[in-house]
Amino acid sequence: MRTVYVDNNATTRTAPEVLEAMLPFFCDLYGNPSSMHFFGGQVEQYLRKARNQVAELLGAAHDEIVFTSCGTESDNAAVFGSLETVPHKRHIITTRVEHPAVRNVARHLLKKGYRLTELPVDGSGALDIRQLDHAVTQDTALVSIMWANNETGVLFPVEEIADMLRDRDVIFHTDAVQAVGKIPVDLSRQKGIHLLSLSGHKLHAPKGVGVLYIRKGTPLAPFVIGGHQEHGRRGGTENVPYIVGLGKAAELAGQRLGEENTRVRELRDHLEQGLLAAVPNTLVNGKGQPRLPNTSNLSFEYVEGESILLLLSNLGICASSGSACTSGSLEPSHVLRAMGVPFTAAHGSVRFSLSGYNTREEMDYILEHLPRIIEKLRAISPFWNSSVRSIAGGAP
């Protein structure tokens, strides 16, 4: 069976060039970069190169890059590490649509006595930054707002937010795990972003490596206490092969940003427009907002997202659903709930997230099969049938 992979916001294929760059660091160049001998020194040079490659992609300085194990670790480190430096401040601001790597940490801190403001979004997933302005007080230690939403692809005006917060004596962290490699990120232009998280496996590096960018001068407590590695912020011998892989992936991402915004965007639009034209009662979640060029989150009203995914999966098509089946109850995602997407639409949401490896022919394969899948599921959907019955004159 063929595989059509359109779940790149979940994880991406490791680029062959990345794998090739990594391989020497397992059996040949396996020295510890902290060792005094020449063998360690050689490896240390590659570590430095990778740091420069990531710094270049972000418009950062090499000593502002700290390698971590994943986006979740970077997010945790940003939140815990910054709060530790301002123990007298007890207020955190995030949004209702953050990834659990921030959202659950903030909620955990709520139980520890912090105050938490989760800013709302509107029906299209947009944030009203005036609400942020009002929410910041002298007690606010940290504002953590994602750059791009992993489910809808909606972009928050992070640069505008950073400008707004510049004179407010708060630390500003952005979870840019979904943004880096898909849209331009230039931290040299935007001095108000203090901390930024990224994750290797979202940009064609392997799983198990990430970065926390820490702007020079930003107070942040060490988050893995041990040796002197990573400027004393994160002890532990560096995961050299993966870091080298992430460096290469960052270099490729910089070269391919143009393609992401032209070819990948065109493919996404072709798929989205085709589905909107072929399937009645289909909504775009995040419509009208600036979005990642690779992401389309669609709600097919009156059907279950899980059923769509299973039937797509039988055809080799890998996508994601915006409703998660947790503990036996089908709860729509917190993102769609925060947007107020109605129950009948939230349950039928599917996220397609593309990459440069996708082709037009793959989009046409989805367009060939998905409309019939929805039709079949609607034919057996009690919700669809009652909605059809309630509309005089036939099918909506």
Token duo for residue 102 = 């921030």
Does position 177 interact with ligand PLP (CB under 6 A)? The reply is: yes
Window 204 to 233, contacts with ligand PLP (CB under 6 A) = 210
**Active site residue: 27, 70, 318, 325, which one?**
325
Region binding ligand PLP by CB under 6 A among candidate stretches 69-77, 130-138, 260-268, 356-364: 69-77
Token duo for residue 21 = 């760059």
Question: How many chain residues interact with ligand PLP (CB under 6 A)?
Answer: 14
Residue closer to ligand PLP (CB basis): 202 or 215: 202
Give the residue, chosen from 70, 92, 145, 240, that forms a contact with ligand PLP under the rule CB under 6 A.
70
From the CB of 100, what's the least distance to ligand PLP, in Å? 8
Region binding ligand PLP by CB under 6 A among candidate stretches 37-45, 48-56, 172-180, 355-363: 172-180
DSSP line for 304-363: -HHHHHHHHHHTTEE-EESEEEETTEEEEPHHHHHTT--HHHHTTEEEEE--TT--HHHH
Rounded to a whole number of angstroms, the distance between the first and last alpha carbons of the chain is 35
- Rounded-to-integer distance, Cα 372 and Cα 78, Å: 46
Residue closer to ligand PLP (CB basis): 149 or 282: 149
- Among the listed residues 156, 55, 49, the one whose alpha carbon sits nearest the alpha carbon of residue 96: 156
Known catalytic membership, residue 325: yes
Does position 101 interact with ligand PLP (CB under 6 A)? The reply is: yes
Token duo for residue 336 = 């769609």
Give the residue, chosen from 12, 53, 76, 178, that forms a contact with ligand PLP under the rule CB under 6 A.
178
| 214 burial via Cβ count (<10 Å: 0-12, 13-18, 19+) | buried
Residue closer to ligand PLP (CB basis): 178 or 229: 178
- Rounded-to-integer distance, Cα 173 and Cα 171, Å: 7
From the CB of 240, what's the least distance to ligand PLP, in Å? 18
Sign of the dihedral through C-alpha 202, 208, 209, 214: positive
- Contact assessment for residue 230 and residue 40, using Cβ atoms and an 8 Å cutoff: no
Window 126 to 155, contacts with ligand PLP (CB under 6 A) = 146, 150
Mask for 317-336, x = binds ligand PLP (CB under 6 A):
--------------------
From the CB of 123, what's the least distance to ligand PLP, in Å? 21
Binding site for ligand PLP (CB under 6 A): 70-72, 75, 99, 101, 146, 150, 175, 177-178, 199, 201, 210
